[in-house]
Structure 1
Amino acid sequence: MPQHIFRDYDNAIQQLQEDLLTMATLTRQNLEQAMQALLRSDTDLANTVIAADSDVDELERKVDQIGMEILVRFHPVATDLRLILTSMKISTNLERISDHAVGIAKRARKINQGQPMQEVQLLEPLYAQAYALLRDAMDSYTNHDAVLGQALHEKDREIDRLHKQLSRTLSSQLELANGRSAAWLHLIFIARSLERIGDLSVNIGEETVFLESAIDIRHEHRKQALPNPPPAP
Structure 2
Amino acid sequence: MPSRLAREIAELRSRLLDMATIVAEQFTDAVEALLDHDMDKAERVVARDKEVDALELEVDERCERILARHQPVAIDLRTLLTAEKINTDLERIGDHCRNLARNTKHVTEAPGVLEILKLRGMTRTARRMLDEAKQAFLDQDAELARSIPDLDDDVDRLHHENFQALVSYIQENPEHAEVAAHLITASKAVERISDHSTNIAKGVVFLIEGVDIRHASVQEEKSIGDGRLGP
Q: TM-score, normalised by structure 1?
A: 0.89
Does the 8 Å CA contact 1:83/1:211 hold for their aligned counterparts?
Answer: yes
Q: Identity rate of aligned residues, in percent? A: 34
1:9 is displaced (CA, Å) by 2.3
Map 1:65-80 to 2 at 5 A: 65-80=61-76
Which residue of the partner structure matches residue 40 of structure 1? 36
Which residue of the partner structure matches residue 27 of structure 2? 31
1:230 is displaced (CA, Å) by 9.0
| Higher helix content, 1 or 2 | 2
Poorly superposed stretches of 4+, deviation over 6 Å: 229-232
Gaps of 5+ in 1: 1-6
Does the 8 Å CA contact 1:153/1:221 hold for their aligned counterparts?
Answer: no
* Cα separation, 2, equivalents of 1:108 and 1:221: 39
Does the 8 Å CA contact 2:113/2:180 hold for their aligned counterparts?
Answer: no
Partner of 1:165: helix, strand, or coil?
Answer: helix
Q: TM-score, normalised by structure 2?
A: 0.89
Number of residue equivalences = 223
* Cα separation, 2, equivalents of 1:155 and 1:96: 19
Gaps of 5+ in 2: none
Which residue of the partner structure matches residue 117 of structure 1? 112
Partner of 1:179: helix, strand, or coil?
Answer: helix
Partner of 1:217: helix, strand, or coil?
Answer: coil
Which residue of the partner structure matches residue 50 of structure 1? 46
> Deviation digits for residues 160-219 of structure 1, max 9, x if unmatched?
111112211111111111421111111111111111111111100110000000011111
Which residue of the partner structure matches residue 3 of structure 1? none
The question of 1:83 aligning with 2:79 is answered: yes
Residue number among 97, 119, 140 corresponding to 2:136 in the alignment: 140
* Cα separation, 2, equivalents of 1:106 and 1:220: 35
1:118 is displaced (CA, Å) by 5.3
1:157 is displaced (CA, Å) by 1.0
Q: CA RMSD in A?
A: 2.2
Partner of 2:213: helix, strand, or coil?
Answer: coil
